[in-house]
Amino acid sequence: RIGSASSLSSAIINTRLQELVRLFKERTEKVKEKLIDSDVTSDEESPVASPAAAVVPAPGGELEGDKPSGDGHCCEMLCCAFERPPWLDRLKSSRFPSSIDPLTNLMYVLWLFFVVLAWNWNCWLIPVRWAFPYQTPANLHYWLLVDYLCDLIYLLDILIFQTRLQFVQGGDIITDKKAMKENYLRSQRFKMDVLCLLPLDFFYFKVGVNPLLRFPRCLKYMAFFEFNNRLEAILTKAYIYRVIRTTAYLLYSLHVNSCLYYWASAYEGLGSTTWVYDGEGNSYIRCYYWAVKTLITIGGLPDPKTLFEIIFQLLNYFTGVFAFSVMIGQMRDVVGAATAGQTYYRSCMDSTIKYMNFYRIPRTVQNRVKTWYEYTWHSQGMLDESELLVQLPDKMRLDIAIDVNYDIVSKVALFQGCDRQMIFDMLKRLRSVVYLPNDYVCKKGEIGREMYIIQAGQVQVLGGPDGKSVLVTLKAGSVFGEISLLAAGGGNRRTANVVAHGFANLFILEKKDLKEILVHYPESQKLLRKKAKKMLRNNNKPKEEKGGGGDALIIPPKADTPKLFRAALAATGRVGGRGPPGRLRWRLKELQAMQ
């Protein structure tokens, strides 16, 4: 009995060990597949609850599973349960972020917009309220309400947002609350923010509500420039905002000049001379019109009479010439930066046309070159994409290449199962080329050194007796010429003509680039060679079965040995195979094996 029991236990242990070995092998294969292609999803089963983890009744006698889950948003009150809106839970669970990334956080950009709005209120309306009689005791409470609302925005910016901004120190992004607060308190930004909130409003009780006491509120200019940088980084056409901002600079300088002119007129006395404002019509519009004529130096203004008027006018002319020239120069820079690409395109086209005219290139070729320039520019916005990407780090170029090309390349049958990193390296070597209508992408019989991926447009594969019949039309996402990258021994010749049907934008991978990549991936190189041989066999099998209906071979096969000669060789073999006939027979066998 003891022996039978021990044998039974050993059999059970062996069975269990074999089962464990089998499971480990399956897991190893899955891990290997996942390493080769991380897109492969794991098909492992979810862990099953053990019998020991049975459901235990709650103290009240109910099972825990019978209780309403938190996803139902139920609220028990007295004897009834009410449905609670899910947004209330989200609102309660939402918290203000402990740290803010000032470069990518859109919420921070939106907050800067409100800060800049408050800053513009102070910059534009403080001079108006000081010079023009628009602030009266009847509407004073409205002005003060908006003023203190802007002060509240300034205060919230200091206490909540600026103390939570991340910063870089020694290459690390600092997100510690104490460190972020200390960094803000040591910065120049904090000093200016405190200075702009000086409580000069207490002097209202002594000198009255004078808007000039709020002039320090205009010192929050650093928020304005930060908002400009953040907004330009997220806009697709930032030059439009730059033009609007430069125009606003010009309008603001005219606005301040009109306020100064009304103040000078009130100082001299409205209507006292022909130079000052006479007090008729809308005071702001009339003074703004005078400021425009002065700053832009249009002329036609009345001559100043008093010494004060002469000095004021001289300062206006000098300031106007300087400010207007600066605005014109800045506007020129903005427009020049916006049209720099177009200027480069025109320069390249003009140089090419000049070159073709100098060498008397035929007019048809010149027209095709011009068409290529126009289509490439309008479709891509640039002539060469590599010029744009060469400035980026290698990692960023890879990220862009993955987003643009990975979906297409990963569907190529030749590259499926290869190392993912090898495909990533290959994506960086792809080159974009535009073909015009009826351009030959490749011709039959030429040596294939590239693989083509259709990004946009269509190409047609031509064949038939005349070589002009359309065999198939390939659309965007299709791949052709991939076997030529790995074929050897004459198998890399093109077997058909491929013509662009309309404008076609293709990605090209050259053979030498693939060879340089495969040096670092020997396993993928073996897999690609195996796949290439299999694809070549599949392509050649129909021709062999049809008995030579395909293309003519570059090296024609040797003619078969005559039957009479084979019979003589066979007889010689039966005699013994010695002598010249035997050596001839052995040589013939060797030639057949080589063939």
3-state SS, one letter per residue, for 398-412: HHHHHHHHHHHHCCC
Q: Which two structure tokens, joined as six digits, stand for 527?
A: 């897999």
Predicted confidence (pLDDT) at residue 30 exceeds the cutoff of 80: no
Q: Token pair 């479709």 is at which residue? A: 379
118 vs 236, more confident: 118
Residue 215 has a pLDDT of 93
Residue 432 has a pLDDT of 83
pTM summary value: 0.62
From the CB of residue 236, how many other CB atoms can be counted at a distance below 10 Å?
Answer: 5
Residue 421 CA to residue 316 CA, distance in Å, equals 67
Residue 543 has a pLDDT of 46
Predicted confidence (pLDDT) at residue 225 exceeds the cutoff of 90: yes
Residue 216 has a pLDDT of 94
Q: Could you tell me whether strands 469-474 and 431-435 are parallel, antiparallel, or unpaired per DSSP bridges? A: unpaired
Work out the average pLDDT over 330-344: 83
Query: Which of 126-135, 328-337, 460-469, 565-574 tops mean pLDDT?
Result: 126-135
The b-or-e profile of 374-397 (16+ CB within 10 A means b, else e) is: ebbbeeeeebeeeeeeeeeeeeeb
Which residues, in sequence order, are CB contacts of 461 under 8 Å at separation 6+? 470, 471, 472, 473, 474, 480, 496, 497, 498
123 confidence band (pLDDT: 50, 70, 90): very high
Per DSSP, the residues of 524-579 read HHHHHHHHHHHHHHHHHHHHHHHTS-SPPPSSPPPPPPPHHHHHHHHHHHHHTS-S
Predicted confidence (pLDDT) at residue 578 exceeds the cutoff of 70: no
Predicted confidence (pLDDT) at residue 57 exceeds the cutoff of 60: no
Which residues, in sequence order, are CB contacts of 442 under 8 Å at separation 6+? 448, 450, 452, 481, 494, 497, 498
Q: Return the domain boundaries, the chain.
A: 95-234, 236-383, 391-540
Residue 94 has a pLDDT of 64
Q: Could you tell me whether strands 479-480 and 450-463 are parallel, antiparallel, or unpaired per DSSP bridges? A: antiparallel
Least confident range from 43-47, 334-338, 364-368, 426-430: namely: 43-47
Predicted confidence (pLDDT) at residue 316 exceeds the cutoff of 80: yes
Q: What angle in degrees, to the nearest 10, is found between the helix axes of 511-518 and 420-427?
A: 140
Residue 282 CA to residue 308 CA, distance in Å, equals 24
Residue 128 CA to residue 18 CA, distance in Å, equals 91
Work out the average pLDDT over 396-422: 80
Which residues, in sequence order, are CB contacts of 138 under 8 Å at separation 6+? none
Work out the average pLDDT over 570-593: 59
Q: Which two structure tokens, joined as six digits, stand for 23?
A: 């499971």
Q: Which two structure tokens, joined as six digits, stand for 516?
A: 């340089």
Q: What angle in degrees, to the nearest 10, is found between the helix axes of 238-268 and 221-234?
A: 150
Q: Which two structure tokens, joined as six digits, stand for 462?
A: 């031509």
Q: Which two structure tokens, joined as six digits, stand for 286?
A: 């009339």
Work out the average pLDDT over 44-60: 41
Q: Which two structure tokens, joined as six digits, stand for 123?
A: 């910059």
Residue 62 has a pLDDT of 44
Residue 295 has a pLDDT of 79
Predicted confidence (pLDDT) at residue 213 exceeds the cutoff of 90: yes
DSSP state of 98: S
Q: What is the percentage of the chain residues whose pLDDT exceeds 70?
A: 76
- Residue range 72-114, pLDDT digits in tens: 455 544 445 545 566 656 655 667 788 999 988 999 999 999 9
Per DSSP, the residues of 35-93 read HH-TTSPP-PPPPPPPTTSPPPBPTTSSBGGGSPPGGG-EEEETTEEEEPPHHHHHHHH
- The three-class DSSP label of residue 442 is strand
586 confidence band (pLDDT: 50, 70, 90): low
- Residue range 410-465, pLDDT digits in tens: 777 777 888 888 888 888 888 888 888 888 998 888 888 888 888 888 999 998 88
The continuous run of DSSP H or E covering 509 comes out as strand 497-510
Cα–Cα distances in Å, from 506 out to 245, 326, 415, 431?
A: 41, 47, 18, 8
The CATH classification of domain 391-540, taken from the options 3.40.630.30, 3.30.70.260, 2.60.120.10, 1.10.357.10: 2.60.120.10
**Which architecture characterizes domain 236-383 according to CATH?**
Orthogonal Bundle (1.10)
Tell which phi-psi region holds residue 589, choosing left (phi > 0), alpha (psi between -120 and 50) or beta: alpha
Fold matches, 236-383 and 391-540: no
36 vs 233, more confident: 233
Work out the average pLDDT over 249-278: 92
181 confidence band (pLDDT: 50, 70, 90): very high
550 vs 268, more confident: 268
For the chain, helix (H) and strand (E) counts, in that order, are 20, 10
Query: Average pLDDT over the chain, rounded to whole?
Result: 79
CA 472 to chain centre: 35
Predicted confidence (pLDDT) at residue 389 exceeds the cutoff of 80: no
Residue 502 CA to residue 463 CA, distance in Å, equals 19
